[in-house]
Amino acid sequence: MSESSKSSNQILGVDIGGTKVAVGLVDQDGKIIAQGRKPMIATSTPEAGLEAVIGAIDSMISSAAGGIQSIGICAPGPLDPKTGVVINPPNLPCWRNFPLAEKLVAKYRVPVKVDNDANAAALAETRWGAARGFHYVFYATIGTGIGTGMVFDGRIYHGHTGSAGEGGHVSIDYRGPVCSCGKRGCIEVLAAGPAIGARTRAKLAGGAQSAILDLANGKVGGVSSELVGKAYAAGDQLAREILQETVDLLTPWLGNIVDLLDPDVLVMGGGVAAMLEPFFDDIKNHLPSWCVNPRASEIPLVMAHYGANAGIAGGAALCSQDPP
């Protein structure tokens, strides 16, 4: 293969967030060849937001010797994956019904795809990562929130209006705390990073002894879920208890997902999932008691392949050719 035809197979993956735009060149095997990031301008005019994205893309295109074949973008939802219109994401106030794909096609004259972060990351895991070879993929990224995506027979399941895959806002307690979405007892408000931090602070304020407090320099208010992960790794008992409680919330939720979808793999990504990986066997062992699916215990529960670069890989996966 000549150098020029090799590089023309490169896909530009773009990950737009509230504060930054991450860009990367990705090959047809899902390998990230080069990457960089620029600040996002999210609170100014629509044009300023677009210019920030174009600046990030240009910085990467200049290092792609033979140009790029397509641009895949993951952005915060809600958005319309069919038209590439960004509707009204809370952390991108610059864009309201903004035709992002259309603007970038006009500028770069290559195909442009847009989807939300978790859907795109689910597709990257299916094409190139931990869910390769599986047909009914459920993916969840657990960090400051919980995002989920479903990929069936190699295609993202979008539902009727493009709004499917909001598994983080599936409630497990109708009397539970109110989530940012307005519903009660969503798994996101119960088990994502901020909930872990809040439960830990409450226990420490109640007098619980733990190395977590030392890690926060004695300040209960400075305790975050990251410190719980660190303390657990160092053998702290309270940290273990808090992560176990988190697992006890996630397991019935995953049971609901399994009973609804009958997936052949469950993939977990994000910082909180990495912290919970030592508990994956515990989740698997208890899953059958939360499922009517008789084969729930056979479903692999695995960590995602892409970590912090899930957005770049996800964007690129939207433009990748179908696997043979």
| Residues that bind Zn ion in the complex, under the rule CB under 5 A | 169, 179, 181, 183, 186
Cβ proximity to Zn ion: between 37 and 183 the closer is 183
Q: How far is the CB of 173 from Zn ion (least distance, A)?
A: 12
Which CB atom, from 173 or from 245, has the smaller least distance to Zn ion?
173
Between residues 158 and 169, which has the closer beta carbon with respect to Zn ion?
169
Cβ closer to Zn ion: 86 or 179?
Answer: 179
Nearest CA to 174 among 164, 163, 165, 187?
187
Q: Which is nearer to Zn ion, 76 or 229 (CB)?
A: 76
Describe the crossing of helices 237-261 and 193-205 by its angle, rounded to 10 degrees: 150
| Strand bridging mode 70-75 / 112-116 | parallel
- Is residue 71 classed as helix, strand or coil in its secondary structure? strand
146-152 vs 155-156, strand pairing mode? antiparallel
Q: Smallest distance from the beta carbon of 195 to Zn ion, in angstroms?
A: 12
In sequence order, the 6+-apart residues with CB closer than 8 A to the CB of 207 are none
DSSP letters, 171-200, are: BS-TTSPBPTTS-BSBHHHHHSHHHHHHHH
CB of 176 to Zn ion, least distance (A): 10
At its nearest, how many Å lie between Zn ion and the CB of residue 123? Answer: 23
Question: Smallest gap, in angstroms, from Cβ of residue 191 to Zn ion?
Answer: 12
* Residues 176 and 184 sit within 8 Å (Cβ to Cβ): yes
